[in-house]
Amino acid sequence: MCHLRSFGDKCHPVEQVRLLDRFSNKSTNGTLYLTATHLIFVESSSNNSTSAGQEIWILHHHIASVEKLSLTTTGCPLVIQCRNFRVVHFVVQRERDCHDIYSSLLRLLRPVSYEELYAFSYNPKQNDQQREEGWQLIDLGAEFERMGVPCDQWQLTDVNRDYKVCETYPRDLYVPITASKPIIVGSSKFRSKGRFPVLTYFYQEKKAAVCRCSQPLSGFSARCLEDESLLQAISKANHNSRFVYVMDTRPKLNALANRAAGKGYENEDNYSNIRFQFVGIENIHVMRTSLQKLLEVIGTRSLNMSDYLVGLESSGWLRHIKAVVDAAIFLTKAVTVEGASVLVHCSDGWDRTAQVCSLGALLMDPYYRTMKGFMVLIEKDWISFGHKFADRCDQLDGDPKEVSPIFTQFLECVWQLTEQFPQAFEFSEWFLLQIHEHVHSCQYGNFLGNNQRQREELQHVSLYKKGLQQCLNLC
Amino acid sequence: MEFAELIKTPRVDGVVLHRPFMPTVEGTLCLTGHHLILSSRQDNTEELWLLHSNIDSIEKRFVGSLGTIIVKCKDLRVIQLDIPGMEECLNIASSIEALSTLDSVSLMYPFFYRPMFEVIEDGWNSFLPEDAFKDLESMTDEWRLSDVNKDFSVCPSYPPLVAVPKDIDDDTLRKAATFRHSGRFPVLSYYHKKNGMVMMRSGQPLTGTNGRRCKEDEKLINATLRPGKRGYIIDTRTINVAQQAKARGGGFESEANYPQWRRIHKALERSNVLQESLIKLVEACNDQSHSMDRWLSKLEASSWQTHVKEILTTACLAAQCIDREGASVLVHGTEGTDSTLQVTSLAQIILDPACRTIRGFQGLVEREWLQAGHPFQQRCAQSAYSNSKPRQESPVFLLFLDCVWQILRQFPCSFEFSESFLVLLFEHAYASQFGTFLGNSTAERTRLSLPEKTVSLWSWVNRPQELERLTNPLYEANSLVIWPSVAPQSLLLWEGVFLRWNRSSRCLDEAYEEMVHIIEYNKELQNKVNSLRRQLAQLETEDPLLQTP
């Protein structure tokens, strides 16, 4: 059974469609099929073709945009750009057929509700028990135990058990022993979106902690005793260090601008024992534009070397990657060399914060470089801590300004590391690419929605949920 | 002339050596006629043996009475020597400068080097033209080996024996030589077994402003065409430059006189431009500012990658004409000793699997570079750190090696040798204990008696211990023509040469070692499987009860 918006009787396959190669003048003939979930191109087998019957399957969810170009002598061109950066260029003989496919795709591209997403109709040959097991592969409680938490300095708090304090945080949060409920609640009122400082990684060897949060609502001069107490508690929890680093992963200018809106950053005068550091990583809009420019450059035909390098530079993409990696290195040095605890935040604490915390943890802890460990890392720092996958990856027809390749950047940072340290990772590039595919495919339930609370609501709605971990474990 | 005259201070104690990726070492610095040697104080082991001929330039710095000499090498390594005492430091510096700028070839180390290994196969005789011709003879009888140049009088930069069309006699060759730059008349570079098409190379035709023609030259190259078929002339200059060459006595083949040949202009840069490009590239690689934008800008400004792309593109074009179009090709630039050779040798890498074997590649370098008269002595006199005004230096051969590396990276299973072989050739082209890359032509090498007085690089490289190190563990022999991608996205910076001293390759080296182990282990297991299968088969035939149903 599939939740399919009806498009009338336009499901018929279209023949005599040409698939154009992006970089040469070659083309292949075939037939185009439109199903509820995929667009499929099947190459017509011919006598002299060695790859007869080549098939291209494009998941609707992967399609970022469809463009119908003006009619040419050979037919009506249709250009499809996918979120996994695939670009397909078809030429359909009859304009009417092209228009049918185009308008059907447009409607299929824009699911309005979660039930329409592939995850709810995808049905691999698994029974309920296997499916349940898939979901239970990752146990964050066990992960924190592996890190050595709870311990004498850190405890599990139930203050957010029903998402009452922070809707976008997970149920289970770890805070310093000395952080009482009033302190936590007070701090959460002083932080953007209620995202108060919590533990995300514990470096046992030095008893140093990596905590994350969002920006304080300090404006120009506002203070919050509870928030200051919480940071004090974090500092006290680490006997080895006199101070806590506070890493604001935004450029200083942006943080300053936020003050005018009643937000901002921590004032070293008000918070005893902190050392404040800006680590300028640009915001989601800059990253979105950067990616667009990059794709334009590398998609150019007959590109010469000079234009390529100049274009690469002006997109800024590698500069941003470097900024994220530099930040992770700073975090790692602070924790492993200086033995200091670090508090990381950006604006809302779910984009740059997630990148820096998870990449830093990867540098610090070899467990996260195993396949299972990497999945745990993503589950912890991205999924449970509320990175807005739905908005960032444009799962539903949402606000285009919320779309940004933050998770893609993280995956690229990891890839860069695998290139430099080939033997330090249990997984290969293929694993990263698979994850990237499925973040956008919505084939699995892991990345649906914007936070844990939303995901749980979706699980109640439908029985169809699959685990990406299960699938990847089988591969 | 005694080397001792040039050495002001042969020995200084308490010198500290700083090298990339290695711990600092203190020891005794010695200068000999050919080497700079540092012996560690601890156990008298030699930490550094540096050929003076490997030194591009040096810099002196003084802090109090402690002098520092920064030695910049042609293989792009930079080392630092801290020398106590200003006078000693100045003496060492000027001695090094004198010893590293000797002009006379016969003073170079290969003439003094005594090999520590037994020379089983003399590399000087491994790749003679007559042996290469025997291979050709087995494939076709349309060519002959001419000794018209046996005393180098017809063409000073050619070898004594060249392959020419069978029906062309020596007199024709002599006349054609007068019509080509430096006497470099068209000769055979490569014969494509698949379809019998050939690639030839030459210097530019000396048409001059009067539109001079030479019937013998026309006869010579027309002899390579099949009846009714056309050939391609690939000119590595722009049409404008080719036109302008006429004013200096040069020119190009006109359609009127060469009606059966289609001319294609694919401009490749000239020597001085390439040298500039190398200098800028190395500067960019050494830039410690760690800014991404500066890195990309500087990389782009050096244009090195652009040159790589252009050379590869032209080589692909030549290969396409031969393999896809089934046409013969003549390649030339101005002199025919630089860009011409890049194109002809790379085209062979693309077309001929034999050139991708270790011996085949050595043969290619011998034929298309050494014997073909690429002026190595001039081109490799200075590298990226040279202080003096550039004269004839140019990284033409290095660019060729870079292009080979690009193809090797794109086709990791198609080459019998690994990257380390290419790096080795780069090093030895600039400074070596072997005589292979000395001189500018076969004539010079003969005049200097190099084969008698020096050891060939090939003698050393072809020993089993060395070959093992240079072999590609992923190699699977195939008979394919391989077409590399020349898109900018596919071409990478050759880190193995340009970032070798800036970034530790330890993790990558370890991963490579691991890969070699995995492949060996896999082979062992495969052998074991085969042996067990044989045993099983044996047992089955012996005992009918064991036969599988």
Cα distances (angstroms) measured from residue A187 to each of A168, A184, A257:
15, 5, 22
Residue-level pLDDT at A206? 94
Rounded Cα distance between B380 and B75, Å, is 11
Rounded Cα distance between B536 and B339, Å, is 59
DSSP string, B103-129: --GGGSGGGT---SS--SS-GGGTT-H
Å from B475 to nearest chain A CA? Answer: 21
Residue A447 has pLDDT above 60, yes or no: yes
Rounded Cα distance between A233 and A154, Å, is 10
According to DSSP, the residues that pair with B70 across neighbouring strands are B59, B80
Rounded Cα distance between B457 and B124, Å, is 9
Long-range CB contact pairs, B448-457, < 8 A, 24+? B448/B105, B448/B106, B450/B110, B450/B124, B451/B122, B451/B124, B451/B125, B453/B110, B453/B111, B454/B110, B454/B111, B454/B113, B455/B110, B455/B113, B455/B115, B455/B119, B455/B123, B456/B122, B456/B123, B456/B124, B456/B126, B457/B123, B457/B428, B457/B432
Q: Which two tokens stand for residue A223?
A: 């203070």
Q: Which two tokens stand for residue B476?
A: 């699977």
Question: Which of A85, A304, A305, A369 is the mutation pick for testing B, counting most B CBs within 10 A?
Answer: A305
Residue A49 has pLDDT above 60, yes or no: no
User: Is there a binding annotation on residue A329?
Assistant: no
Average pLDDT over residues A375-394: 94
Residues from chain B contacting residue A304 (CB–CB below 8 Å): 306, 309, 488
pLDDT tens-digit series, residues A293-326: 999 999 888 899 999 999 999 999 999 999 999 9
Residue-level pLDDT at B272? 86
> In chain B, what is the straight-line distance between the N-terminal and C-terminal CA atoms, in Å?
86
Residue A460 has pLDDT above 90, yes or no: no
Is residue A413 annotated as a catalytic residue, yes or no?
Answer: no
- Do you know the residue count of chain A? 475
Contact A318/B297, CB-based, under 8 Å? no
Q: If pLDDT is split at 50, 70 and 90, which confidence band does A2 have?
A: very low
The shortest CB-CB distance from A313 to any of B297, B303, B488 is to B297
A150: preceding bond cis by omega (within 30 degrees): yes
Residue-level pLDDT at B543? 75
Å from A312 to nearest chain B CA? Answer: 8
- The HSE-up count of residue B523 (CA atoms within 13 Å, CB side) is 7
Chain A, window 403-422: residues with a beta carbon less than 8 angstroms from a chain B beta carbon: 420-422
Q: Where are the beta strands (DSSP E) in B128-186?
A: 143-146, 162-165
Residue-level pLDDT at A455? 85
Long-range CB contact pairs, B475-480, < 8 A, 24+? B475/B413, B475/B414, B475/B415, B475/B416, B476/B413, B476/B414, B477/B353, B477/B357, B477/B416, B478/B353, B478/B413, B478/B414, B479/B353, B480/B353, B480/B414
Residue-level pLDDT at A463? 40
Q: If pLDDT is split at 50, 70 and 90, which confidence band does A51 have?
A: low
Rounded Cα distance between A325 and B18, Å, is 30
Question: Which residues neighbour A66 within 8 Å (Cβ) at sequence distance 6 or greater?
Answer: A78, A79, A80, A81, A102, A105, A106, A109
Question: Which of B268, B280, B292, B299 is the mutation pick for testing A, counting most A CBs within 10 A?
Answer: B292
Rounded Cα distance between B243 and B267, Å, is 13
Element (H, E) at B466: helix B464-470
Average pLDDT over residues A5-30: 74
Chain B contact for A221, CB < 8 A? no
Residue-level pLDDT at A5? 40
- Cβ–Cβ < 8 Å for B393, B379: yes
Contact A305/B488, CB-based, under 8 Å? yes
The shortest CB-CB distance from B300 to any of A310, A421, A424 is to A310
Give the number of other Cβ atoms within 10 Å of residue A32's Cβ: 21
Å from A340 to nearest chain B CA? Answer: 26
Q: If pLDDT is split at 50, 70 and 90, which confidence band does A3 have?
A: very low
Residue A286 has pLDDT above 80, yes or no: yes
User: In chain B, which residues have pLDDT < 70?
Assistant: 1, 44, 544, 546-549
Note the Cα B549 to chain centre separation in Å: 60
Strands B231-235 and B261-265: parallel
User: Is there a binding annotation on residue A347?
Assistant: yes
The shortest CB-CB distance from B293 to any of A23, A298, A319 is to A319
Residue-level pLDDT at B1? 57
User: What three-state secondary structure class fits B488?
Assistant: helix
Q: If pLDDT is split at 50, 70 and 90, which confidence band does A464 have?
A: very low
Question: Which of B277, B293, B307, B514 is the mutation pick for testing A, counting most A CBs within 10 A?
Answer: B293
User: What three-state secondary structure class fits B451?
Assistant: helix
Q: Which two tokens stand for residue A363?
A: 């540098």
DSSP assignment letter at A443: -
The shortest CB-CB distance from B292 to any of A303, A319, A424 is to A319
Which residue in A426, A425, A422 sits closest to B515, CA to CA? Answer: A422
What value of ipTM does the predicted structure carry?
Answer: 0.90
Residue A133 has pLDDT above 90, yes or no: no
Element (H, E) at B537: helix B506-542
User: Is there a binding annotation on residue A350?
Assistant: yes
